[in-house]
Structure 1
């Protein structure tokens, strides 16, 4: 419990629920910024509150992302159930249907995250679900290539705001040294979706001919309708702000706010949270976002002029989407039937989900991000090396093992990378913009990966595997570059004289404050 010598929790400033629940982020943040500092809380009290939030916040977010990833990637399952033949499509046309999703997906992520700041998450996120669920259902009744292409374009628009929105939403509840474990719990839904997708597709495909529809059509229709149904339940499982969370007591709400206030500098200065276009511009111009994306070295002269096109995010998302869209086809082309290929994806994704959660817990415990990311990107690379070395040698089990190793590396590395950037951006709007920008531009890798595994390259897919390996290796180099960058800035700030800054000035500086330290 709280240290009584520091103050009576019953006398802490109250944050009344009435007239607040309907307010915007700005109103809640304005209220937070004028509160008096809270006395420190014991680790046991903080852990108790965090566990309570985990049980009330993470499950619904995981369900949302599970459905989103399921709906985004089930086209890979539909492909091996006859989609291309029924719509008279070619391999390049199928790749275009995958590619256009990411063009609109990337374009609408930043606007969506800014809208999340203006609207309540419990309204905006379910609204997005209804939109993509309807689009997914309509995908099951398309009659030609043009129809499938159009629905994929609109699916990208509808899904654009979910992942960056939820990833940012988590940072509003959890301090930065506790964030990766929660991001992994949420993101592990993607790997569960991969497993569930195989089982579900295997089952639904048996409806072939029901109602005059092919089995692959029922995959889209039933999974789309499921999303719409969950969307109407979601508002009851999404809580907008710690200040308005009815499942927390007053003392617990104060404890959450205290953890969020002290996460960056160790004092109780709040971050600047009111909207200014300056914060969006700051995010667009922030060097660390582009190093995280492309590995561009932007330190201090003379290194500022050296632009090294590396790819941290792309080194993870290229393999992620390549595997997501083509894993059933890769396994089928090893000589297995369609139904067996669907089922063989299940153990890969289940194992990846478990490893991702364990790795994130360890990373939070050590308060380090880059070592974990580098290790699991190494697994991705090792997996693709195994695949390339064994492909075409009559050992399908070894190829399968190589893919297994790569996926185990992908799913822990992805939330680690997202968390690494999010914890190093200070200020609500800058963080919202920066995360949307990173995820938006980063997901252009999905557009590239959609074209890596060409039909004419089956069953070996040498080009696709080699490209995935190349992006991963460049990404590993960029992880090292980014860590060195952060460490250099931290050491410089350790030597700075902060006496010439006042508290209000440093608050407005966000992560550029001399009191802010980047997490390595």
Structure 2
């Protein structure tokens, strides 16, 4: 991936003729007094231009080492959790159930729902586990775990067996999405994180496209070895996940202070540039329950959960039921699988573009406020149009394009505004866990064709929670920034030592929130 806006985190006072001043230079200030120029980190003895070149090389090295493999991991995760929608129209409903009667609508929706229960329960814990056990061990282990479960799903014969497999799949996958977003936030500065998170999440859209193509091909294996086409979807995709999981032991990297693909000096550079980005806890941070308490006392966590539930419920409803929605337009099962490819293909580049614009502008809230209405319009069309497959199919494009960019942008926005390694981990775990718990709603709103109730619920979620939550968050953060710039929060520093101030995280008066 081409690196975007990779500049050295030089103190803002180093401009113009000041660029080559040595560390600790005393500069006279207008009106008397003096200020000490901050430490320039491991490259203090180099010129400004030399430091910029080194920084560009460093960020590019991070990008090519971290991002591609993480995208592959999430592609597999999203593929494995949503391929049940493809399996449904490839014979899953008739292939399971007691006495050969097949699954009822209620049983199928329950199998969808139970994944989100275990997924949401375990997500808030996983970021702490990722930090304690290291990404190189934690991520490959959970991948092998969920790949094994996915493979076993191809051998289930009854609805209770499917329910058990989906429950454990939720537990196994719970650590990847919040874990990787948290992990990336520990590597990149705040105005670099959004595009990386967007590229990472775009793998979900690619998974949707790839899943449709793969399901159409695997569906042709129906009856081979005595297994239905739906079973082969689970078996082959699960085996592929297991292989990638084992390879990940040698590919996934640890956090910056322990990453073995960096030299000691490059590790120091990564930590330094994060500290210059007001991430005071960029280096080692010992776990304390006070970080958990601070997270649950922070209104940004709760408002972030509201925004994310509006985006995430819509995401899973779309991903799980798009094959059924397209088939309901009058297409055969195999053609419906293929037609699900294009909407995802349109959503992926827009997701990356929004991440780029949000990083450059620093206006993540406005991006949500502008993009979410696209998805809302798409679902309004699906609700109101009955007999025009072309228009309804076009609405599927709008729906995907309005949902996918808001997922990564919302996560980036929340991450940007939470300082502290463990606090950020807890907040992201809770926000993403709560959003995924709303996958239970996603699993049960499409009961009967033509899915009018489902489209109505989606419109409400995206309008009230995603758009309304984004508006409220931006309003509150803007007000807080104005107070801080005017010195209205400086009294929080009274009586505190430098160490105490460092531990304040995003409550430090000099921490300005991303809008």
Report the TM-score when normalising by structure 2: 0.87
- Structure 1 stretch displaced more, 468-477 or 499-508: 499-508
Match 2:452 to one of 439, 454, 462:
462
Aligned residue number for residue 135 of structure 1: 149
Aligned residue number for residue 483 of structure 2: 492
Aligned residue number for residue 23 of structure 1: none
Aligned residue number for residue 248 of structure 1: 262
Aligned residue number for residue 230 of structure 1: 244
> 2:135–2:252: 8 Å Cα contact kept in structure 1?
yes
Match 1:74 to one of 75, 83, 87:
83
Q: CA deviation at 1:111?
A: 1.7
Distance in structure 2 (CA, Å) of the matches to 1:5 and 1:264: 22
Distance in structure 1 (CA, Å) of the matches to 2:61 and 2:184: 14
- Structure 1 stretch displaced more, 508-517 or 152-161: 508-517
1:275 has 2:287 as partner: yes
Deviations 1:235-264 (A, max 9, x none): 221110223334334443332112111112
Distance in structure 1 (CA, Å) of the matches to 2:56 and 2:41: 20
Aligned residue number for residue 72 of structure 2: 63
Inter-CA distance 4–247: structure 2 relative to 1 (3 Å threshold): farther
Q: CA deviation at 1:357?
A: 0.8
5 Å matches for 1:116-155? 116-155=130-169
> 1:142–1:148: 8 Å Cα contact kept in structure 2?
yes
- Structure 1 stretch displaced more, 466-475 or 39-48: 39-48
Aligned residue number for residue 403 of structure 1: 396
RMSD: 1.9
Distance in structure 1 (CA, Å) of the matches to 2:371 and 2:281: 36
Distance in structure 1 (CA, Å) of the matches to 2:431 and 2:82: 21
Q: CA deviation at 1:6?
A: 3.8
**Aligned length, in residue pairs:** 469
Match 1:186 to one of 200, 203, 209:
200
Match 1:331 to one of 298, 318, 326:
326
Task: Tell me the secondary structure at the aligned position of residue 510 of structure 2.
Answer: coil
Distance in structure 2 (CA, Å) of the matches to 1:172 and 1:476: 28
Q: CA deviation at 1:348?
A: 1.1
Match 1:54 to one of 48, 53, 63:
63
1:414 has 2:407 as partner: yes
Distance in structure 1 (CA, Å) of the matches to 2:288 and 2:106: 44
5 Å matches for 1:103-502? 103-264=117-278, 273-294=285-306, 312-390=307-385, 392=386, 394-454=387-447, 457-458=448-449, 460-474=450-464, 475-496=466-487, 497=490, 500=494, 501-502=496-497
> 1:352–1:412: 8 Å Cα contact kept in structure 2?
yes
Distance in structure 2 (CA, Å) of the matches to 1:130 and 1:269: 32
Inter-CA distance 465–44: structure 2 relative to 1 (3 Å threshold): farther
> 2:112–2:166: 8 Å Cα contact kept in structure 1?
yes
Inter-CA distance 48–367: structure 2 relative to 1 (3 Å threshold): farther
Deviations 1:408-453 (A, max 9, x none): 1111110000011111111111001110000001111211111011
Distance in structure 2 (CA, Å) of the matches to 1:188 and 1:492: 36
Q: CA deviation at 1:507?
A: 0.7
Distance in structure 2 (CA, Å) of the matches to 1:112 and 1:6: 43
> 1:184–1:356: 8 Å Cα contact kept in structure 2?
yes
> 2:371–2:402: 8 Å Cα contact kept in structure 1?
yes
Task: Tell me the secondary structure at the aligned position of residue 453 of structure 1.
Answer: coil
Listed as ranges, the gaps of 5+ residues in structure 2 are 1-6, 9-18, 24-38, 97-101
Report the TM-score when normalising by structure 1: 0.87
Listed as ranges, the gaps of 5+ residues in structure 1 are 8-34, 295-311
Q: CA deviation at 1:405?
A: 0.6
Distance in structure 2 (CA, Å) of the matches to 1:214 and 1:171: 42
Q: CA deviation at 1:270?
A: 5.6
Task: Tell me the secondary structure at the aligned position of residue 443 of structure 1.
Answer: helix
- Structure 1 stretch displaced more, 498-507 or 218-227: 498-507
Q: CA deviation at 1:4?
A: 6.3
Q: CA deviation at 1:185?
A: 0.9
